[in-house]
Structure 1
Amino acid sequence: MAIKAVVFDFGGVLIDWNPEYVYSRLIPDATERRWFMDNVVVSDWVLQQDAGQTIADGNAELIARFPEHEALIRAFYERWQEMVAGVLEEGVALVDKLEAADVPLFGLTNWSAETFPWAWERFPVLQRFREVVVSGRVLVAKPDPAIFALMWTEIEKHLPGIQPQEVVFIDDNAKNIRAATALGWNAVHHTNAEQTEARLRALGLPV
C-alpha cells in the first residue's frame, strides 16, 4: 500500500535536545557525570514528567531519594532551555520535502506539558503538522500503545479509512519503534537523516 501519512517524533529528530549540554558544565568530571545521569536523572524519571507528572512533584520525589544532589536535580528543569541547542536542520529538511509533496504530516512527542510551550513558540517547524499529540497533555507517553491510539484518532480525522500500513512513524527511540511496529505501522528508527531519508524513499515517499 502507498504511504498516506508520516508521523514525526520531535526530540532527536527535529529538535536537538540533550541534558549533557547542561550537565557537562555542572559536573565536569565525565565519570561522575555519567554516574549522575545513569542513577539520578534517569530516563524513566524524565518520562514521568513527559507523561503528565508536574515538575514540582518530579523534583520532590527525586530529591527525597537523593537529597545530597538537590541542586543538580533542580537544575534539570530550571535550566532545561539550555538543553535545547536548536533545530536539527537535516530533520527539518525532511519535513520540507514531504510537505512540498503534500504528504500529510503529524507529530507525536514525549514532552512535558510545562516545557513544551517554550519550544512551540521558538521553533516554527513544530507548528507545521496537521495535528500534534504531546504526551504531557494527554497524560500518557510512548511507548504506551494508548498514546499511539490517540495519535491514530487524530490521523483518522484527516484521513478517514487509513490503514496502519499506510503510515510511517519516525522516532529515535528503539522502544517507541517497536511499539509502532507492533501496531502495524511502518516505523523508521532515526539514527541520522541520511538513513531515514533512504528508508522513506524505499517506502515510496518523494524525499
Structure 2
Amino acid sequence: MSSIDIRHIVFDIGKVLIHYDPHLPYCRIIPDEAERNWFFANVCTQDWNVEQDRGRSWKEAEALLIQNHPEREEHIRAFRRHWHEMVPHAYVGTVSIMESLITDGRDVTMLTNFASDTFREAQQLYPFLTLPRGVTVSGDVGLIKPDVAIYSAHAKTFDLIPEATLFIDDSMANVEGAKAAGWQAVHFTDPQKLRVDLAAYGVHS
C-alpha cells in the first residue's frame, strides 16, 4: 500500500464513466466500412475533433471541413447532429465506484477533454456527471490534456494538493501528464482494476 495520503480523486469521463465511439452513428450514415474509415482518416479526423475539445466552435469546425470537402457537407454536419449516439451508455461499474467515494465523503472532481456544449448534453443524458464537487472541461478553459497547464488549472480552481491528488484516465498520455503535474495517477482499463488501484493508495470504494 502507498504511504501517500490521498485527499482528492479526479475522474476522466470519456471511456472511464461513459462510453464514446464516433463510429456508432456513422455505421448507419456511411454503411460502407472502407468509405467510413476513409472519412474518419481524412475528413472528421481525431485531430479535427480535438480542436472542439480545445474550445473551437462547431460552426467554425464544420465550415473549415466543408470548404475543403463540399461534397461531404451532410456527413460532416452529422458529426455534431448525431453526437448523442456516440455516447450510448455509462460504465456502470465505474459510476458505482465514483458514487460510493462521494457517499463516503471523498473529495471527487472531474477533468475532461470535452467540447463545452456536448459536455452539457452529456450531463443531461447522465445526471451522475453532476454529482462530483466540480469539473474542469477543456472546451471551457481552452486547455487540453495532457498539457500540464490544464492539471495545474484544475488544482488551482478546486484547491487541490497535487501530491495528494489521484487521477484516473484511460489514456496513458493523460496519466503521464498528470504525473508531470505532480499528481498521482492510474491508468483505467476496467472497474475491477480500478478498485485494486484505489486500494493500493488506501482508498476503498
TM-score by length of 2: 0.92
1:144-165 C-alpha deviation (Å, 9 max, x unpaired)? 2221111011231xx5xx2x22
194, 201, 207: which one aligns with 2:199: 201
- Tell me by how many angstroms 1:68 deviates: 2.7
How many residues are matched? 202
Aligned with residue 29 of structure 1, among 14, 27, 32:
32
In structure 1, the partner of 2:97 is 94
Distance 1:104 1:38 in 2: 40
In structure 2, the partner of 1:49 is 52
1:156-167 mapped onto 2 (5 Å cutoff)? 156=159, 162=161, 164-167=162-165
- The residue number in structure 1 matching 2:118 is 115
Q: CA deviation at 1:50?
A: 1.0
What is the rounded CA distance, in whole Å, between the counterparts of 1:154 and 1:133 in structure 2? 8
| Separation in structure 2 between the aligned mates of residue 198 and residue 100 of structure 1, nearest angstrom | 19
Query: Which secondary structure state, in structure 2, belongs to the residue aligned with residue 151 of structure 1?
Result: helix
Secondary structure at 1:86 match in 2: coil
* Aligned mates of 1:21, 1:42 — CA distance in 2: 15
Unmatched segments (≥5 aa) in structure 1: none
Matched, 1:60 2:63: yes
C-alpha distance in 1 between matches for 2:190 and 2:149: 27
Instruction: Map 1:125-204; keep pairs closer than 5 Å.
Output: 125-156=128-159, 162=161, 164-204=162-202
> How many angstroms apart in 1 are the aligned matches of 2:91 and 2:11?
13
CA contact (8 A) 1:97 1:206 kept: no
Aligned-pair distance for 1:12?
0.9
In 1, the alpha carbon distance for the partners of 2:195 and 2:71 equals: 45
Q: Kindly, what percent of the aligned residue pairs are identical?
A: 39
Contact 1:101 1:206 in 2 (8 A): no
In the TM superposition, residue 20 of structure 1 has moved relative to its aligned partner by: 1.4
Q: Which amino acid aligns with 2:186?
A: V
What RMSD over aligned residues (CA atoms) do the two structures have, in Å? Answer: 1.5
Contact 1:143 1:176 in 2 (8 A): yes
Structure 1 residue 32, shift from structure 2 partner: 2.3
Q: Is the 8 A contact 2:52 2:58 kept in 1?
A: yes
Kept in 1: contact 2:148–2:180 (CA 8 A): no
Q: What is the letter of the counterpart of residue 152 of structure 2?
A: A
CA shift digits 1:44-84 (9 cap, x unpaired): 21111111110000011122222232211111001111212
Q: Offset of 1:35 from its aligned partner?
A: 2.2
Structure 2 Cα separation of the partners of residues 194 and 121 of structure 1: 27
**Structure 1 residue 4 displacement after superposition:** 0.7
| Alpha-carbon contact 2:102-2:132 (below 8 Å) kept | no
Q: Which amino acid aligns with 1:192?
A: D
> Structure 1 residue runs of 4+, over 3 Å off?
none
| Aligned mates of 1:82, 1:193 — CA distance in 2 | 23
